[in-house]
Each structure stands twice: as C-alpha cells, then as structure tokens.
Chain A
Amino acid sequence: MNKELLGILVIFGSTVLLAVPLGRYLATVYRGDKSWSDFLGPLERLLYRLGGVRPEREMSWQQHLVALLTINLVWFVWAMFVLCTQGSLPLNPDHNPSMTPDQAFNTAVSFLVNCNLQHYSGESGATYFSQVFCLMFLQFVTAATGLAACVVVFNALRDRTTEKLGNFYVYFTRSITRVLLPLSLVVALVVAFQGTPMTWLGKAPLVTMQGDSTFVSRGPAAAMIGIKQIGTNGGGFFGVNSAHPLENPTYLTNAVENGAIVLVPIAMALAFGYYLGRPRLGWMVFGVMTAGYLLLQVPTVYLEMHGNPAITHLGVDQRLGSLEGKEMRLGAPASALWAITTTVTSNGSVNAMHDSLTPLSGMDALLGMMTNAFYGGVGVGFLNFFVFIIVSVFISGLMVGRTPEFLGKKIEAREMKIAIVIALLHPLLILAGTALAAHLYVGNPTAYAGWLANPGYHGFSEMLYEFTSSAANNGSGFEGLGDNTPWWNISTGVVMILSRYLPIIGPVAIAGLLARKKYIPESAGTLRTDTGTFGIMVFFVIWIIAALAFFPALALGPLAEHFTLYAK
C-alpha cells in the first residue's frame, strides 16, 4: 500500500482511538465524578477564591450566557489594548510595530472568537508579549469558553426538569486545568523536542548555503502550537502557520499536530453520550460526523494525489501529486488530510496553501466550513450539530405525524425558531458578505485591484473562502487575497463576532428552554434518536441545507474553475 496513504490512515485512526478514552474522561470531569485529575482540585479552589467565584452556585442558562459574554468583553478590551500598543510594550526584541486600529480590531476579534483569522504575519506583525499574553492567552480561554458552553447544553439535556445548569466558571476552569493545559503541554513538548523554538531571543542571524546572510524569526512558538491545535484555534506563531519548518518541523510533528486538531472535537461528541449515560447517542453523533468528514476527505486526498492537469499539460511529472503550495517533506496526502481536518473543525491552521488546492479540493474545504458541524470546533462543533439535531427531530416529527421530542423533552415552536435562525445565519453571513465584496469589486475593479491576485473564478473562491472562514470561525485563509484593508478587517470582524456568539447563545438557549420542560419518559411512540435511521436523517438535513444555500455560489467559484481546468 502507498506509504503516504498508510501514513494518513494511521494519523486518523490513532486519533479516533485516543478520542474514545478522552471522551470518557471528559464526561467524568464535567460531571464532577472522581478522576485521576482530582489532584488539581486545590489549585482550582484557589482560583475560585481569587476570582470570587462560588463553585457550588448553580446558574440558569441566562446567567451562564451573561457570565460568558462578560468575560469575553473583558478579554476583548485587553486584546485591543495589547495589540494597539505592542510596539511599546516589553518582549519585543525584533522591534515590531503596533497594529493599526482596524487590524487590531480584526485580530482581537479573530482570537476572541476562536477564529484566528490572521491578517498579519506573526514574524513582523506581533511581538512576543502579544503572542503569549494576548493571543495564546485567548487561545486557551476561548477554547475553554466553547467547551464550557457545550457542557451547559450537556447538563441541560439530562433527564430531569430544572433551571439549574451548573456553574459556568467551574466548567470553564476545569476545561483549562484538566483538559486544555495537559493536552497542549503534550503537543508542545513533542514539537519542541522535534525542533520548534521556545525562546525569548530575537531573530537569529543565518548564513544560507548560497552564502547569503539573513535572519530567521523565532520566539516562544512551541507553547502556542500546542494550544493552537488542541483548542481548534489555528492561529499560528509564524505567518505561514504549520507550513513553516519551525512550526511543523517533521512528519511526526505533522502527525501529532494534525491529530490534535480533531482529538477534542471527536472526544466531545463521544463525551455527549457518556455524560448522559447514553453512549449510543454519542456514537450516533460521531458516526454522522465521521461520514460527513470522509465524504469531503476521500475525494480531496484523491484529487491532490493526482495532480493538476494544467501542470501535466506542461509535461511535468505529477506522480507525487499536486505539489504547488505544499511542503515536499509532508507530501500531497498529508497536506490534503490536514486541509479537510482543519476546515471541518473550526481550527484553520494550515500546513499547505489552500489557494493552491485543486478547485474541487478547495470546494471540499469550503464545504467543511459551510456545514461546520462535522466534528467542528471544541465545544462549538457539537453546539452546531445540536442545532441540526433539533431541525432533524422537527422534520422527522412531521414525517411520522407526531410532536417531536429529543431526549424526553418536547421540541416546540420556540426552540425551532431559534434553531432555524441559527441555521440560517451561517449562509446569510457568508452569502451576504461575499455578495457585498463582489459588488464592490465589480463596481470599481481598478480601486480594489489589490484585493484579488487572481480575478475570475478563483478570485471569487478567494472572497467566498474568506467570508466562509470567518463565519465558520475557522480562520484559515485561501490567501491570494489582499485582506489587510479596512473593508476586509472590519467586515470579516463583524461576521466573526456574529457567527461566534449567536451560535453559542442559540443552542444554550434551546437547551435551557428544554431543561425547564417536563421530562417525558420514552414510550413506544417516541422516535429514537440514537439509531442509524435518525443519523441518516441528520446527515441529509445538514447536506440539504448546505447544498440548497451554497450550490449557486459554488457553481460560480470552484465548480466553474474545475470544469474549465479539467475541460482542457
């Protein structure tokens, strides 16, 4: 068998194998049951005392959201302050300047919402202080925010009637101390031992093999890479992310970093089942997510391994696959694996340039973000999936002539309205944003010529990708887009805020409303949700909504490019 294919199978397979025990562990931690990590209890209690948090105080869903939004606002102010003044702050050995306000806004928002869209390059656009104390700090706390919101939903779906859904700060703190810190420490250690720098020193002088002398950027990178991957953040230390040899030095680091992207999202899907004591349900969610993931992953690997016909026409040997924009040391299949893994989750780190993917692979990456529920971001991936479950339960209810219910709670008009609004928000933000950008560009192509490196279908894909990536809180870039302008900074910033908080507020509200309802034990008439039939239903609902919303846009971008390219 092809060694490269074997490599990616091992990466994905071992990730799933690790996710199963992790899922059990997450359920234990969030239920508050005994676990090996209880030795961290005193530390957590100290943090609660310092923060004035009473861990035994249970919150309603509204109080959870207030707590979540308040601490997020505080972080935003901190991030704006650091990014706008970083040039004068300490730990800036390379003397990088402060950010302009619109870029600081975009960056602050982007890291605050766990998106990590980067309209700057880490080497020249940020200082060590802002990388560590602003950006990496946000990578931990925003991932924990997503996990905590997800646990609120888990808690609300237990079989009882209640207003009390646990303490937000407890979920949040435990996410950091017991999940994110240990896991990212492991990843950081692996990459550090493989050669990623972890230093406060400035650029290192280097004489190249040709005898030129140059400088190589470095810094406290290894620490950030761990949480970048584990927390589905994706914002790299260096501008080209994990395609940079210091950020992703070897095949081993590539495997670890790639696995780290989906580890927690997969574990969270399984944790859902373990938490509720219905493991089958967790496996149903995992099954649907995996089916959706493979549907995108398999063709992408195939296409990237078979090269680009335009280059074949030039008489170039493409037996190693389409290598434009890829790292030779990683190869086409591993790059394809990463491209889809990073887009289905809301990670957004890259180890190859997505701009250079073949058109249909680019479309698969786009679809990963358009569906945004196959694994998804830490915590928030499940929240998106939960919205689709609600919609599916609802349509199924119509199909079997019965008021729909999920886990013993009736789904009624109010929950459905919220779910539909959240499901609609995603296509609305993507399509409206892209339409505005397209309209501006068409209105004055010369003024906005700097936007698009490739006008035509590919340019359209670039704009579509930028908004899709923002709306999916993914943060990967198609690049090739001149995106550090006020228009892109502000428009994508607004899209990121809306598409982060509304899809958290919506599912938490639905779950909170459901938690208040009377628990109706399952009867023979109940539509079971932990079955293959229901899984297929959810699968189709996700795809039909994505297809109906995005087919015309995809036809004008990647599909037009693909058929034009392959028609030759």
Chain B
Amino acid sequence: MRQPDGTMVAMSSAQLQKGQVFVVEAGELIPTDGEIIEGLATIDESAITGESAPVIREAGGDKSSVTGGTQVLSDRIVVQVTTAPGESFLDKMIALVEGASRQKTPNEIALTILLAGFTLVFVIVCVTLQPFAEYAHTPIAISAFIALFVCLIPTTIGGLLSAIGIAGMDRALRANVITKSGKAVETAGDIDVLLLDKTGTITIGNRKATHFWPAPGVPLLEFVEKATISSLTDETPEGKSIVELARDNQVSPQALQSRLDGAELIKFTAETRSSGVTLASGTRIRKGAADAIRRLAEAAGQPYHADVADRVKAVASNGGTPLVVSENDRVLGVVELQDIIKPGIQERFERLRKMGIKTVMVTGDNPLTAKFIAEKAGVDDFIAEAKPEDKMQYIRAEQQAGKLVAMMGDGTNDAPALAQADVGVAMNSGTQAAKEAGNMVDLDNDPTKLIEVVEIGKQLLMTRGTLTTFSIANDVAKYFAIVPALFMVAIPALGALNVMGLKSPQSAILSAVIFNALIIPALVPLALKGVAYQAVGASALLRRNLLIYGLGGVIVPFIGIKVIDLIVGVFL
C-alpha cells in the first residue's frame, strides 16, 4: 500500500479501506476493486468474465476500473480502492452464490413422507397387537415384538439410501461430470426446465453463409465472384463461410486470389459497418449491413432495388443475418448468413420432451431471430437479448411455480444463475466462480452433457423408488413368517398360516430377522448398479418395475426365508 507520504507498506488485502492507494505489478493479483490513477497494464480478467484474452486497463477514461481477483500480466499500476471491504464485485458474487439456497427435492420429501407413513402404520400395528394378544391369551415376548417391528419397518431401503446416492455420483463421474453432492444428481433426475446457451449448444459456434441472392439484373456468377473476392482476406468466421459457400457454387477461390494483387484491404469498423477491398483497378467491393450499403449506394446515386430490400427483410425474419454486397456502390445482391443448428439436436430435445423436460434457449439475439432458431431446433421456449439478470429472473420465476431448473454456464456472470438453479453445471473451462457456484463440473465442456446427467439422476430416483417398493412388498412374506410363529403355540390352528412350512416358531422369527439383515447387503450391488432407465414412456416403465420389484418383492422373501429356515433348522 502506498501511504500518503509516498512510502510503501505491505499489508493484507482484507485490510484495504476505501480511498487508500495500492500498487500492483506484473504477475500479481489485484487485491480489491479500484480505479487506476497512474499507469497502464494488461490484465487477465478470465477469473471474472471467462474470457481468456487479456484486456488493457489504463488511468483516466472509461477503462480505468479494475476488479479484485484479476491478475496483472504486464506493467505496473497504481490503484485507488473504490469499495469498502466485503463489498467488492467478487464478494457480491460470493454472497449471491451463498444466498441462493437449494430446495429439497420433491422426490426426497416424497420418500420421507411415504416411509414415515408406513413406519407409523407398523407402530400402530405393533402397539395394538399387545392388547389383542392379551385377549387371545397368547402373551408375546418383548423380543418377538422387537423382531416383528424391526422386520416390518422399512429398514432395507433406509440402509440402502446412502449406497444409492453414492452410486449416482459415481455414475456421474464416469460420464466425466464431477458432482459436489449426491443430491445434485438426484435433483437432475427431477428437472423440469433446462436452460441452454444457444451458441455452442444448439447451434454450431458461428453464423454461416447459406445462400447468395443476386440483385435483379446481376448474374449469379458475377455476384458470387465479387462476394468471394471481398471475403478472401476476411478472417472472420462469416467471411470464411462465404468463401466456402462460393466453392460449393462452382467458384474457385484460388482462381480469384490473383485478382487481389495490389488491392487495398478495408477493415470492418463500427462507423462504416462494412468491409471489403479496393482492387488495383480501383474497383471498390464492399459488403456489410444492409442500411450501410444502402447509404453508400444512395449517396452515389445508384438504385437500391425494392427486390433487394424485400430480400433483406425476408432473410432477417427467417432468423438469418443479411449481408449486402456492392461494387462501386452498385448493389450486387444479398448474402444470407444463418445459424447452423447442430445435427441431431432436435432428436435430443425430443427425448427430453419425452422425459417431461422443458428446454429453454438463452441467446443474445433479437427476439425475432431467437424465435426462429428456437422453433427450428425444437426448444420449448427462449430468452432473447438475454442479460445475466434475465436468466436469474427466469430461473426464479420457474422455481416459484414449483419447477426444478437446470442450467449450464461458464462465465462468472453466470455464477449467480448457476447457484440459483437447482442443478448448475459449470464447464471445466469456465471461471473459478462459475465452478464454485454450480453443483457439478463437466470435465468435457460439453453443453449437451446435461441430458446424460438427467438420465443418471432418473436412474437414481428410480432405483430408490423401486427398492422402496421392493422393501415394502417384502413385509407380506415377513407377516406370514412371524404372525403364525407368535400365536401358533396358543392357537395351533393358526399353523395353517405357516404357508412356508417353517420348522418352529423360533426358527421362523430367526429366519425372518436374518433375511431382513441379509437382504440389505444382497441388494447393495443392485443399488450400486442402478435400475436401468429407458425412455419408453412412463406407463411401460411402471409396468416393468411393478412386475420386477413389486411382484418380485412379494415372492423373493418367501423363498429367502424358507431357505434360511432350512439352514437354521439344522442348528436349532
């Protein structure tokens, strides 16, 4: 820190007060938010923005503010602290992240209520059995009561819950997703709404040229050639895609290369909103935004055809971006740029819809373009001209309607939304803040990974649900083992209920208890492997699981208890 008299003191960043001045040199982290009062430096702000390219910050002007937590890459700057301790940008982000509390999942609450309900039934059954037995003159030993109660209450599923949770995390890890808790995976299975960034997820990176539309009276070939010439030196993805499209139109870019000899390249600027070349012959070829080229043409007294204007409108309303090309201010035609939707993405969204998940596209595009792409890709909703607050608001609104929301993001400005979302998946390439805020990190940086995560979550939920059913169905057989055993001595006729033909009351109770204890480890492999999820529709899934785990749950313990009884009988 620089003291008012100019001497330097080293001190902890936490002690910096508003108004104090500090010095940071290349390689050092900026301790807190402030404004540069002296010097200029390149700063790596990727911790905040996710953008890896360094930015230049200098004293004076609108680029003088620096953020705590960013790194100075070169030079030395003197900075005045502008925020009180605990109020910096990073602090606010952290507060937002911590403040966004996670909901308990409906499924979790569901299971708790169900298990509590069944346990209560068994409490009632066991407590009232005492006076019933008194009436029937068959006192029941306290140990037998405990055996009955322990066998009946859903201990099996209780013992397996953690194993199922851990197995879910493990499956996620094998899909290259690191989860911070088992709950996050489970929540993923119950997701109703999925927020996806347009770029990179729904569309392939950038826009591409998809069509040449020559102006009336201009031959297609000439138009394509001129458009290509204007783009040969253009390094932007849009420019490259024009050259590519020209090649598809039987125009050889190599052949045109020679025409550029001695040409002057005109870079794109925000004022002209166009770029191009001026050839050695003096021919000016420009391409750019429709209104910019129109101004050029009109200034030069050249006609701007109504057909061209219509075409521009048509392209825009189709979700595309029109580029107009001119030669010496004469309008040649329109190049249509389109977002390319990733192949196979529609099918993926269809699959999500089958699971009952609503997909939402987030994009900075204008609503018209966004709507078009949303329809084409088959997403259910979109947020156009999205700012970070918009995402947050959307997520909150959905959550208030009782929905569970998942989103993927990578920048620090995504962090609050990632924290607010019930499932926040951060890209591994993303910022530290984003990774902190999310509850999963995707090592592959694959935006469609969420779909896999959802399936893993569903599998976890199903495993738990089916094992619960299995566990409760088991009680039927346990009744048939224990109830006759309790009363057989006093009421010999009840021996008829001993359908398993267990050897003696002692061996029957013992077998039921042993079965109860053994079934937990026996089910661990299933709990770990999980019940397979198939997108075959809910009814088919229910039918299958009901048959295997419901009916199986009734039958298996009859066999199990009988086998154990045969073994126990040898020793009793």
Contacts and interface: CB of A to CB of B under 8 A. Distances in A.
B121 A548 contact: yes
Contact of B546 (A413, A427, A523, A536): A536
B136 interface: yes
Given A413-B106, A427-B124, A531 B494 contact: no
A400 B546 CA distance: 10
Contact of A560 (B111, B353, B487): B487
Interface string B188-212: 0110100000000000000000000
Nearest to B461: A401
B458 interface: yes
Interface string A537-560: 100100011011101110110011
Interface residues of B, number: 73
A434 interface: yes
B135 interface: yes
B512 interface: no
A401 B189 contact: yes
Interface in B514-572: 533, 537-539, 541-543, 545-546, 549-550
Contacts of A457: 136, 491
Given A442-B131, A525-B357, A398 B542 contact: no
Contact of A549 (B124, B189, B457): B124
B122 A548 contact: yes
A556 B132 contact: yes
B58 interface: no
A435 B106 contact: no
A54 interface: no
A399 B136 contact: no
A524 B132 contact: no
Contact of A400 (B111, B152, B473, B545): B545
A397 B538 CA distance: 9
A100 interface: no
Contacts of B190: 401-403
Interface residues of A, number: 61
Given A413-B113, A442-B135, A552-B483, A528 B539 contact: yes
B113 A420 contact: yes
A522 to B, nearest CB: 10
Contact of B132 (A395, A438, A534, A540): A438
A432 interface: yes
**A contacts with B: majority SS:** helix
Interface stretch (B22-30, B278-286, B314-322, B463-471): B463-471
A543 B355 CA distance: 30
Contact of A413 (B110, B129, B479, B539): B110
Contact of A416 (B113, B460, B545): B113
B401 interface: yes
Given A416-B113, A527-B539, A544-B476, A564 B491 contact: yes
Contacts of B136: 457, 460, 556, 560
B42 interface: no
A547 B135 CA distance: 21
Contact of B533 (A401, A416, A524, A563): A401
A524 B538 CA distance: 8
Contacts of A533: 539, 542-543, 546
Contact of B469 (A399, A413, A526): A399
Determine which residue in A401, A420, A549 has the highest number of CB atoms from chain B within 10 A of its CB, and name it.
Answer: A401
Given A524-B537, A556-B133, A534 B542 contact: yes
A533 to B, nearest CB: 5
B306 interface: no
A420 B468 CA distance: 16
B353 A399 contact: no
Contact of B124 (A416, A428, A442, A518): A428
A500 to B, nearest CB: 20
A12 interface: no
Contacts of B129: 552-553
B133 A547 contact: no
Contacts of B118: 548
A317 interface: no
B127 interface: yes
A412 interface: yes
Contact of A420 (B117, B125, B152, B494): B117
A402 B354 contact: no
A396 interface: yes
B310 interface: no
B542 A567 contact: no
Nearest to A560: B491
A439 interface: yes
Contacts of B462: 398-401
A549 B121 contact: yes
Contacts of A551: 479, 483
Contacts of A564: 491, 493
B255 interface: no
A434 B67 CA distance: 74
Contacts of B135: 438-439, 441-442, 460, 556
Interface string A419-437: 0100110011001101110
A403 B124 contact: no
A457 B237 CA distance: 89
A559 B537 CA distance: 42
A389 to B, nearest CB: 14
A564 B488 CA distance: 12
A150 B545 CA distance: 32
A534 B539 contact: yes
A555 B487 contact: yes
Nearest to A436: B131
7 contacts: A399-B465, A399-B469, A527-B538, A533-B543, A540-B550, A552-B125, A556-B135
Interface of A: 394-404, 410, 412-413, 416-417, 420, 423-424, 427-428, 431-432, 434-436, 438-439, 441-442, 457, 460, 517-518, 523-528, 531, 533-534, 536-537, 540, 544-545, 547-549, 551-553, 555-556, 559-560, 563-564, 567
Given A394-B114, A549-B121, A555-B483, 17 more contacts: A395-B469, A399-B465, A400-B465, A401-B462, A401-B533, A410-B106, A413-B109, A416-B109, A427-B124, A427-B125, A435-B127, A435-B130, A439-B135, A531-B539, A549-B124, A560-B487, A563-B494
